[in-house]
């Protein structure tokens, strides 16, 4: 209730907000706070994947966005089963069957173009199904070239209907992890190219990367997921003097102990203490956000990820422009 002109003048207002996607949960609570955690899921960046499961008799089109799976369309082919008899009739039958199959492939391609090209954040397409039909379809020119380039995996399933789609979804995390590893390898290789060729378009180490971020020079910030470092702010309660330090997380307790009785560099009073601490990843990511820099957290599961951590301290950047000397 919103107060208008003092007690008793409250007015109730109701706002209807339509979420960008259907909410898959019903929740009723009488509480002292608003439960917005399920709505906050919509704020997370989500990538969409197209799923096409097909065999000679039918095809199913689906879209996987975050955790939400939508079966968009199912079609049947009208292609008859293989003919087992011999002679002229068998050859004629096979020609007619092949014509029907080509027509079916064109229909599948048209539906795929219509469904998947309309998705602005489409990350990739997974082609699946039992038997060799999916490979025959992939080899032909039935898909728009943009979609054909987005086929990230072709996998075998036991079914071509909703059950086949579910099989793909079960395998999806493994497929997407493989894609992420490829993306990470490409990013690190791009960084290494600039370093190796001394182009001036890459830098590494906390101090240099921080300077580049503050100048708005970083295009892509590369941070190892294994960084275990905190950025702490020390303040003197007597004069307000502050300084910042970068430490390993395990060093923090001993660092705090070392401040006890230590004189302030400015006023000499023994009043220094840690007033703020942030994980280095969070601190640098916040700086990156201010200059619209893309942040990539790199795993240590690949050789390139290990190299970023061990050879470059886990902190590197690909630049928009060269830094001044």
CATH of the domain at 269: 3.30.1330.30
Q: Is 304 helix (H, G, I), strand (E, B) or coil?
A: helix
Q: For residue 64, what is the domain's CATH number?
A: 3.30.420.60
In a domain? residue 36: no
Identify the pLDDT of residue 165: 93
The answer to whether position 299 is within a domain reads: yes
Asked whether residue 61 falls in the same domain as residue 176, the answer is yes
In a domain, 7, yes or no: no
78-124 pLDDT per residue, tens: 877 665 555 556 677 778 888 899 999 999 999 999 999 999 888 88
Domain assignment present for residue 192? The answer is no
- Of all residues in the chain, what percent are helix, strand and coil, respectively (each to 5)? 40, 25, 35
Separation CA 19–CA 164 (nearest Å)? 29
Helix axes 162-196, 303-312, angle to 10 degrees: 40
| Host domain of residue 86 | 48-180
Same domain, 268 and 146: no
**Rounded Cα–Cα distance for residues 175 and 126 (Å):** 9
- Cα 235 to Cα 242: distance, rounded to the nearest angstrom: 4
pLDDT of residue 321: 94
The stretches of 125-235 forming alpha helices (DSSP H) are: 133-139, 145-148, 162-196, 206-214
Quick: pLDDT tens for 133-154.
Answer: 999 999 999 999 999 999 989 9
Does residue 214 share a domain with residue 106? Answer: no
Residue 3 lies in a domain: no
The answer to whether residue 149 sits within a structural domain is yes
For residues 223 and 278, membership in a common domain is answered with: yes
**DSSP state string for 234-272:** EEETTT--EEEEEEEGGGHHHHHHHHTTPPPTTT--S-E
User: Is there a single domain that holds both residue 251 and residue 170?
Assistant: no
Nearest to 184 by CA among 14, 308, 54: 308
For residue 177, the model assigns a pLDDT of 77
Residues 208 and 149 placed together within one structural domain of the fold: no
Domain boundary among 124, 149, 180: 180
What pLDDT shows up at residue 45? 46
Can you give the pLDDT at residue 82?
Answer: 64
Instruction: Give the residues of the chain that fall short of pLDDT 70.
Output: 1-10, 17, 19-46, 81-90
Tell whether 257 and 157 lie within a shared domain: no
Q: How many domains, the chain?
A: 2
- Residues 173 and 209 both lie in one domain: no
Kindly give, in sequence order, each residue whose CB lies less than 8 Å from that of residue 316, ignoring residues fewer than 6 positions away. Answer: 191, 202, 203, 204, 209, 221, 222, 308
Residue 108, in any domain of the structure: yes
Torsion sign across C-alpha atoms 213, 214, 217, 219 = positive
30 occurs within a structural domain: no
């Amino acid at each position: 209730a919103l107060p208008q002109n003092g007690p008793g003048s409250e007015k109730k207002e109701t706002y209807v907000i339509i979420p960008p996607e259907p909410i898959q949960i019903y929740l009723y609570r009488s509480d002292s706070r608003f439960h917005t955690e399920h709505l906050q899921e919509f704020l997370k960046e989500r990538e969409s994947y197209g799923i096409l499961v097909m065999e000679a008799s039918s095809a199913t089109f689906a879209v996987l966005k975050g955790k939400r799976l939508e079966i968009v369309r199912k079609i049947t082919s009208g292609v008859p089963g293989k003919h087992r008899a011999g002679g002229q009739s068998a050859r004629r039958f096979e020609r007619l069957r092949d014509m029907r199959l080509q027509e079916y492939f064109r229909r599948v391609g048209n539906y795929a173009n219509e469904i998947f090209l309309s998705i602005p954040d489409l990350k990739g397409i997974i082609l699946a199904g039992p038997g060799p039909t999916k490979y025959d379809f992939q080899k032909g020119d039935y898909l728009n070239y943009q979609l054909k380039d987005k086929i990230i995996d072709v996998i075998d399933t036991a079914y071509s209907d909703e059950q086949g789609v579910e099989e793909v979804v079960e395998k999806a995390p493994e497929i997407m992890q493989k894609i992420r590893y490829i993306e990470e390898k490409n990013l690190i290789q791009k960084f290494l190219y600039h370093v190796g060729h001394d182009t001036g378009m890459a830098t590494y180490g906390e101090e240099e990367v921080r300077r580049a971020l503050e100048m708005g020079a970083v295009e892509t910030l590369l941070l190892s997921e294994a960084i275990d470092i905190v950025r702490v702010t020390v303040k003197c309660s007597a004069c307000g003097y502050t300084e910042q330090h970068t430490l390993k997380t395990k060093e923090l307790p001993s660092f705090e102990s070392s401040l006890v009785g230590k004189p302030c560099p400015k006023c000499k009073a023994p009043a220094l203490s840690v007033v703020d601490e942030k994980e280095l990843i969070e601190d640098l990511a916040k700086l990156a956000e201010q200059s619209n820099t893309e942040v990539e957290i790199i795993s240590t599961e690949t050789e390139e990820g290990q190299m970023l951590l061990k050879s470059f301290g886990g902190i590197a950047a690909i630049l928009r422009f060269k830094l001044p000397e």
